[in-house]
Amino acid sequence: MTWNENGGRLGEEFFTPGSSSFAEFLAAHRPELLSTRRVLPDGVRAAPDQVPHGTTVLALSYRDGVLIAGDRRATMGNLIAQRDLEKVHPADDHTAVAFAGTVGLALDMVKLYQVELTHFEKIEGVAMTLDGKARRLAGMIRQNLGQAMQGLAVVPLLTGYDPSAPEGERGRIFSFDIAGGLYEKTDFHAEGSGSPYARGALKKLFRKGLDRRDAALAALQALWDAADDDSATGGPDISRRIFPIVSVITEDGFERLSEPETEALSREMVEQRGNRPDGPNATP
């Protein structure tokens, strides 16, 4: 796409004025490269037991910013398709996206979204605002509506650190529906098949001003509760040393907690569950 066949020169489309959206550029000149535009033939619907799906992802605000986490399991019907899927990805230095839903489409959407944000910044000379980033992702989801109605839905969860927000409210969380509806959430949220159980756990564990360690433990506890009641969600796999992905976004940017730190917190949480299988009580 970068070079045409006549002497390796760039095509005219690269010199035609347009918007700062890379997705719109592809839609105009190479729409076949947009996986969100490919709709199955009429009357065809994806079989849920033939396409890997990812579950459960969550986010919560804490003292220094926002935390986003996800389990590692992907399923095809009642089969485990993958045990170490990565569902949490940085979108740029101060934004992260996690996903539940059709894995292949979700990964393509995440990659396109990462390019979209980088492309905007290079064209405009400034980073997109967090509200703008949320609207751009909503537009991408809307483009996937045809495939979502055929059983190939992607449901992202977007988090970011917003330096323009008031102190204590700079970690922001956005959720979406399959039609591209955009909703900002307060304090915490979860998506995916295990999300009702994860949200229930966060409802009792969340409190304002959590430090990073307590926020990570609350996320791990919530993912454990999701795995306890939802077979499509995977808990910490001690024997294989596969643990949930936990990342934070602060004023300093995106940071994924190291494997040793996540493992230590997971083992601590599992030990606590040995004494209290239903999890900790709500903190007054």
Task: Give the residue numbers marked as catalytic.
Answer: 55
Beta carbons of 130 and 117 less than 8 angstroms apart: no
Question: Which of 227, 236, 245, 240 is closest to 269 using CA atoms?
Answer: 236
Q: How far apart are CA 210 and CA 120, in angstroms?
A: 34
**Residue where the block lists tokens 């077979």:** 231
Beta carbons of 61 and 171 less than 8 angstroms apart: yes
Handedness of CA 134, 106, 66, 91 (dihedral sign): negative
Beta carbons of 104 and 52 less than 8 angstroms apart: yes
Q: How far apart are CA 176 and CA 170, in angstroms?
A: 20
Question: Which of 162, 138, 126 is closest to 249 using CA atoms?
Answer: 162
Please tell me the number of Cα atoms within 13 Å of 135 on its side-chain side.
6
For 114-210, list the strands marked E by DSSP.
154-161, 171-176, 182-185, 188-191
Number of H helices and number of E strands within the chain?
Answer: 7, 13
Both tokens assigned to 64: 């220094």
